[in-house]
Structure 1
Amino acid sequence: MAEPRARRDLHPGAWWVWALGLAVAATRTYDVLLLGLVIGVASLVVLARRPVAPWAMSFRLYLGLGALVIVIRVLFGVVFGASSTGTVILDLPEVPLPSWADGVRVLGPITSDTLQRSFAAGLQLAALIICVGAANSLANPRRLLKSLPAALYEVGAAVVVAMTLFPQLAESVGRVRRARRLRGDASRNVRALRSIVIPVMEDALDRSMQLAASMDARGYGRKGAADPRTSRLTGALLVGGLLGVCVGAYATADLTAPRILAAPMLAAGFAVAGIGFWLSGRKVGQTRYRPDPWRGWEWFTALCGVAVAVTFFLDFALSPVTLTGLVVAALPALLTPEPTSPYAALRSAAATRTAAGMAA
């Protein structure tokens, strides 16, 4: 009988590259079926490769947040997106507005086109949220912070709080619900919701701040000495590069903008910001204790995410090309090693003690 594949936790950066590739694919289409398949692929990989850890339970919160986003987007479409095209489903009276609000409509006839566009836009945003949630559920946030490049160490505390707040939120929800059950409080009304939300938010933020403080006490985010001229140059490069990225991204989305402000500005912004990050990282002296390896399976997982993004750039409609990209994106659920179990060491220690006892 063949030996089972050894369990191993993949590098958290590989899962983030995979999830961001899936998110890029979601931004390329408004096809409801394709967006549903993107969400399905993300859910499949999370269910297959999610480790046994409290922070990995946050994926259901992202699913709920995605559903809420869809509902809100449809409501906004009904209230502000009335259209005269398509089959009228509900004929609501239009609210008269003053002349300075020309072009804005409130209520009015609700058509099938309005609902379809609103649902597709909400589903796209929900897919982006769920892809980020998949990365947070698959990648250990603390190991990811340990693997961040040196250029981000200057904003270490902010990065720690931002990256760990939502995973800590999922853990806090479970802890508060268990405490309420132990006290015999099983109510589910609005007052019970208020008694859950405030302790959960406070506990999640406190735990994230404690992690940031502990990492700061260990020197995370500290930088070496640098002359003022270098610091000003680094800041100018970072701000200028990020502004160039913003202008390039807007021009890419707006087809009426000059094309010189699209891809060329985007590439120039990334290049300038990259130089700024490189100069910023040179000021940080760091050591790595037991760094996470980046091996073949990490390359495979990251390339699966890149592949699905490339296929959606080639064709953003339902076609064999996009379906092939989604199949490739789902391969990590079947081929990558399973994550390590926190109970494996306990079982191994128990087996060792049992064998020692039998030998004695």
Structure 2
Amino acid sequence: MTPRDLHPGAWWIWALGLATAASATTNPFVLVLIIMAAVLVVVARRTEAPWALSFRLYVYLALLIITIRVLFRIVFGGVDGDIVLVTLPQIPLPDLAAGIQLLGPVTRTDLLGGLYDGLRLAAIIVCIGAANTLANPRRLLASLPPAFYELGTTIVVALSVFPQLAESVGRVRRARALRGDPGRGVGALRRIVVPVMEDALDRSMALAAGMDARGYGRAGTATVGERRTTGLLMIGGLVGLCVGVYALLDRTAPRWLVLPCLVAGVLVAAAGLVSAGRRVQQTRYRPDPWRVAELVAMACGIATATLVLTTSAAVAYPALDVLPQLSVPVLLAVLIAALPAFLTPPPVLDTTRRVLAKRGAT
């Protein structure tokens, strides 16, 4: 396949599908397989851009979350099982803290419960990190509909902070290494934090100035009446969606509220988005197309979430006293999640861009 950059929206839909699948299960085998599928796709399809260098930080964050969750269950766990692995000295608490136990017996159920919960959150973090690694945040902002322009600007800036910090850390460490600083230990960490924060702040200010010069955040020429109409439509759509979703989740609510409120909320919200998009004036230069590869990546994420959501409760939420089981739909979901590593075109690396630029110059 010819190398090209995939649409950032396709990567986000794929990653959100995997994150949805991870949030719908506590099976450790399924969660580990989802993490492995996300890592495989990232290794196969990430670029050399600055935001693509921060994926390992998400992996470190995921490992930290698992560790903290297990330690939390050890410190505040209590005896929830009959197999005691180790007995720690218990710290007595006053009567006001009745029901809370510090340390004491650590059971297998406590450890497995903390491990399962931490692994689920870690899998979601890795999936979001995969999307932030594979998708170009600036191209994502350019691909958003006009109604989400101002909100999308805030989200893109927030998403680009973590990759900018990773790039700043690498640049500062290389500069200190050239000066003979080994860059290890707590003392080196203190010497790195201030330059990194200063560099990230300078880059954020430069990004804000560049966005302001290009017209980001301008409200257009909408009148006061048009703005009020847009606000009423958005509020009405949100109210309809909230009532419909509440009626859908609450089995005691009248069933006749579900479909009418959802449909009315979607229609009113869509009208509000169209009205909000009219006051945002922007032009697009070479918009990213949606091709077969984008549709394949998006379908893989949706199929993964659907298969995991429809699996049996015994597989999705295994008991803590039995060995978790796998099923054919779950294995098929993980296999589908890893398909973008093979069915999407490889990205255009920075070295390839430089070669093409030199050929065009000559």
- TM-score where L is the length of structure 1: 0.86
State yes or no: 1:223 paired with 2:219.
yes
**Amino acid in the other structure paired with 1:307:** A
> For residues 174 and 243 of structure 1, do their structure 2 counterparts lie closer, same or farther at Cα, with a shift above 3 Å needed?
farther
Q: 1:130 aligns with which of 123, 126, 129?
A: 126
> For residues 275 and 121 of structure 1, do their structure 2 counterparts lie closer, same or farther at Cα, with a shift above 3 Å needed?
farther
- Equivalent residue number for residue 334 of structure 1: 342
State yes or no: 1:175 paired with 2:171.
yes
| SS of aligned partner of 1:62 | helix
Report how far residue 352 of structure 1 moved: 7.5
- Equivalent residue number for residue 120 of structure 1: 116
- Return 93-102 or 242-251, whichever deviates more: 242-251
Q: 1:144 aligns with which of 113, 136, 140?
A: 140
> For residues 109 and 278 of structure 1, do their structure 2 counterparts lie closer, same or farther at Cα, with a shift above 3 Å needed?
farther
- Return 31-40 or 313-322, whichever deviates more: 313-322
- Equivalent residue number for residue 23 of structure 1: 19
Q: 1:214 aligns with which of 210, 217, 231?
A: 210
Show CA shifts across 1:249-307 (max 9, x none).
Answer: 8998xx9x655499949957973655543432232122111111111111111111100
- Return 126-135 or 72-81, whichever deviates more: 72-81
- Aligned CA RMSD, in angstroms, stands at 3.0
**Distance (Å, rounded) in 2 between the aligned partners of 1:91 and 1:243:** 52
- Return 120-129 or 274-283, whichever deviates more: 274-283
| SS of aligned partner of 2:85 | strand
- Equivalent residue number for residue 327 of structure 2: 319
**1:178-197 equivalent positions in 2, closer than 5 A:** 178-197=174-193
> For residues 176 and 259 of structure 1, do their structure 2 counterparts lie closer, same or farther at Cα, with a shift above 3 Å needed?
farther
Once the two structures are aligned, what percentage of the paired residues are identical?
A: 54
Show CA shifts across 1:70-129 (max 9, x none).
Answer: 111111111122223231112234433344433333323211100101011111111111
> For residues 162 and 244 of structure 1, do their structure 2 counterparts lie closer, same or farther at Cα, with a shift above 3 Å needed?
farther
| SS of aligned partner of 1:106 | coil
| SS of aligned partner of 1:222 | coil
- Return 102-111 or 20-29, whichever deviates more: 102-111
CA contact (8 A) 2:177 2:183 kept: no
Question: What is the count of residue pairs matched by the alignment?
Answer: 347
State yes or no: 1:343 paired with 2:351.
yes
Residue ranges of structure 1 left out of the alignment (5+ in a row): none
- TM-score where L is the length of structure 2: 0.85
> For residues 259 and 169 of structure 1, do their structure 2 counterparts lie closer, same or farther at Cα, with a shift above 3 Å needed?
farther
**Amino acid in the other structure paired with 1:342:** D
Residue ranges of structure 2 left out of the alignment (5+ in a row): 316-325
Report how far residue 349 of structure 1 moved: 5.5
| SS of aligned partner of 1:95 | coil
> For residues 157 and 313 of structure 1, do their structure 2 counterparts lie closer, same or farther at Cα, with a shift above 3 Å needed?
closer
CA contact (8 A) 1:243 1:269 kept: no
| SS of aligned partner of 2:70 | helix
- Equivalent residue number for residue 295 of structure 1: 291
| SS of aligned partner of 2:103 | strand
Report how far residue 234 of structure 1 moved: 3.7
CA contact (8 A) 1:161 1:209 kept: no
State yes or no: 1:155 paired with 2:151.
yes
**Distance (Å, rounded) in 1 between the aligned partners of 2:136 and 2:287:** 13
Show CA shifts across 1:211-247 (max 9, x none).
Answer: 1331122111212233445434544554676688789
CA contact (8 A) 1:160 1:208 kept: no
Q: 1:54 aligns with which of 43, 50, 54?
A: 50
Report how far residue 149 of structure 1 moved: 1.8
**Amino acid in the other structure paired with 2:36:** G
| SS of aligned partner of 1:48 | helix
**1:270-289 equivalent positions in 2, closer than 5 A:** 271=266, 273-289=269-285
> For residues 116 and 259 of structure 1, do their structure 2 counterparts lie closer, same or farther at Cα, with a shift above 3 Å needed?
farther
